[in-house]
Structure 1
Amino acid sequence: MTTRFGSWAQAFAGKHVLITGGSLGIGYALAEALAAMGAELTLVARREAPLAEATAALLAVAPKCVVHTCSCDVADGDAVAQVLGAHAAKHPVDVVINNAGVVTPGRVLDLDRAAHRRHMDVNYWGAFHVCETLLPGMIARGQGGHVVNVGSLLSVMGIYGYGAYCASKFALYGLSECLRAELWPHGIRVSIVLPPDTDTPMHREELALMPVETKAITGNVKMLSAPFVAEATLRGVARGQFEIVPGAESRFTVLAQRLVPGLVRWFCDRAQAKAATGAPLAAPPVRLGE
């Protein structure tokens, strides 16, 4: 066991962990950490080339790691059932990490229906398709397990320029709550991860499309590295946490959103107005307890 992690990392030794969106960003960082912990891995992504590159990189740092790959689009329920169903029949899965996601910043009315639907198809339905395919087998084996859904800080708050993304991540949070209630009698735990902006290739593409008002709001929470988010996620999973929020600033933001949502909205409105006009709002536009 690598000394980089604490004793909690032993929870993943010998476990088979399936990660969607596992070839890049947070997904790859999760895979790299799990490989160091002695887990068996299955990486899922749409394109075969990034999967091959990720596998080679993992084996370079963890030569003894067993790495499987499955190429499919999680938004396609039939493909997920066929590809992941057949794979899990041969290699039973202990931990499912639904990390695959898309994000296209833009004002609600500026994005077309196809963009809104794509967010739901991948971010919500993708996770549902994977759970629908893998959970019956996990329940039937009677050996417990864990489902980890990677949401966002925007699973619990909505901000300017992220309407399609927020809607899909709110839906994922609701699904996670219901799965938690329904699966614990079977010994299967569920976690939802709420990371802030994370330094990944997808986020760098996102910045080019982000409205200036959105940049002003999101800039108030520190960006985290993918390895930091991955380690915080796995630590929370090992400890059986339902809600995992990487980073102190992110935890403060979630707490404030729940205790004083009106104040959070005022800060967001203030940043939005300043970015748009250079003149911040003089006073909160809503009551603090609203």
Structure 2
Amino acid sequence: MANFNLSFLALFISPPIFLLIFLQLIVHLRPVKITIKSRHVFITGGSRGIGLAIAHQAAAEGARVTILARNLNRLEEAKSSIRRSTGIDVGIVSADVRDFDAVKEAVEGAGPIDVLVCNQGVYASCELVNFDIKEIKDMIDVNLIGCLNLVKAALPGMKNRSDRKPVSIAFMSSQSGQVGIHGCSAYAASKFGLRGLAEALQQEVIADDIYVSLIFPPDTDTPSLAEEKKTRPRLTSIIAASSGMMHVNDVAKKSLNGIKSGSFYVPCNFQGFLLSISSVGLSPRRSWLLAIFEVIFAGLIRVVALCYLWKWYGTIEKWHAQNKYRKGGLMK
């Protein structure tokens, strides 16, 4: 009986071990360490919210920080805030990420970048049929095209750096960039687009020791979220509550730690971790432990995902049934 149990255990464990050896020989997964002390960290959307929190933490760790946003007054307030908390002055640049020429001028004026954090974002939730087309275009332009502008402007300097230490390009995505939910069709489109950009870009820049990170925060306690919630569809709030809310400093810490470890996927909470496993596809992975975990548990996590989907679609069906009943009652 003991021999049977050992044989069964060997059958269960052997495939992951053989896969691990295969990955080591063929894929060359290896850990990466990206230092930020005394290096230039350039953060867009840095005047408030997650961007400002990352700027605070990066400055506290000894990085040379530049923050970019459109509103110069907010940038000045952010600079004063960081100085008060860390005693360090940061650079500020006012530019619109939708304007490539303005972005290029801002990047060149700030000097060579070691860590580029594309954090700018516009968020609005609404059923697509009711969305204003201009609002959709603005969201795509800021969230996706803005990142393309930033990377294109920064890459020449990052590729030609004299310091050949590893550097990073990080995109602030969202859990709406891992799974689409009701009311977030336009926003999800802009954030899902970042994944395609990040996966292809990583292949283009890996030879230059440039590591790409995709960060997936859930709802985060920021002024922007507070404004968005005023017009958010009720169904969107119910479904989004499945992942809870995080404090902005916690998201900033998770983001910066992910960047420093060169992680491609950077989830910020447990639900985000499950989503990163279930949606990993052909995305690169630089952690042996997570690679093995994915191989062993991907099927089980798919079951968990199906349970979430069952709950969400049940909520949607119930919601529409109740609205239909109310409308029918009013008509009588």
Q: Please state which band the TM-score falls in when normalised by the shorter chain.
A: 0.7 to 0.9
TM-score (norm 2): 0.76
Match of residue 61, structure 1, among 85, 94, 98: 85
Q: Find the aligned partners of 2:191 and 2:134 in 1 and give their Cα distance.
A: 17
Q: Find the aligned partners of 1:221 and 1:113 in 2 and give their Cα distance.
A: 29
CA-CA distance at 1:257 after TM superposition: 5.9
Q: Partner residue of 1:192?
A: 214
* 1:200–1:277 CA distance, 2 compared to 1 (3 A): farther
Q: Find the aligned partners of 2:78 and 2:320 in 1 and give their Cα distance.
A: 41
How many residue pairs were aligned? Answer: 268
CA-CA distance at 1:270 after TM superposition: 1.8
User: What is the root-mean-square deviation in Å for CA atoms of aligned residues?
Assistant: 2.0
Q: Which residues of structure 2 form unaligned runs of 5+? A: 1-31, 281-301, 324-332
Alignment of 1:50-129 (within 5 A): 50-63=74-87, 65-85=88-108, 87-88=109-110, 91-129=111-149
* 1:47 partnered with 2:71: yes
Identical counterparts, % of pairs: 33
Deviations 1:185-219 (A, max 9, x none): 10111000011111111111110111111111001
Q: Is the 8 A contact 1:213 1:276 kept in 2?
A: no
Match of residue 315, structure 2, among 262, 271, 274: 271
Q: Is the 8 A contact 1:10 1:37 kept in 2?
A: no
Deviations 1:234-271 (A, max 9, x none): 11111111000001132134445672454433222122
CA-CA distance at 1:104 after TM superposition: 1.1
Q: Is the 8 A contact 1:11 1:238 kept in 2?
A: yes
Q: Is the 8 A contact 1:115 1:164 kept in 2?
A: no
TM-score (norm 1): 0.87
Q: Partner residue of 1:288?
A: none
Q: Which residues of structure 1 form unaligned runs of 5+? A: 1-7, 280-290
Q: Is the 8 A contact 2:34 2:262 kept in 1?
A: no
Q: Find the aligned partners of 1:95 and 1:164 in 2 and give their Cα distance.
A: 28
Q: Partner residue of 1:250?
A: 272
Q: Find the aligned partners of 1:34 and 1:25 in 2 and give their Cα distance.
A: 14
Q: Is the 8 A contact 1:17 1:95 kept in 2?
A: yes
Q: Find the aligned partners of 2:43 and 2:322 in 1 and give their Cα distance.
A: 43
Q: Is the helix fraction higher in 1 or 2?
A: 2
Residue 75 of structure 1 aligns to a residue whose secondary structure is: coil
* 1:175–1:9 CA distance, 2 compared to 1 (3 A): closer
Q: Partner residue of 1:149?
A: 171
* 1:173 partnered with 2:217: no
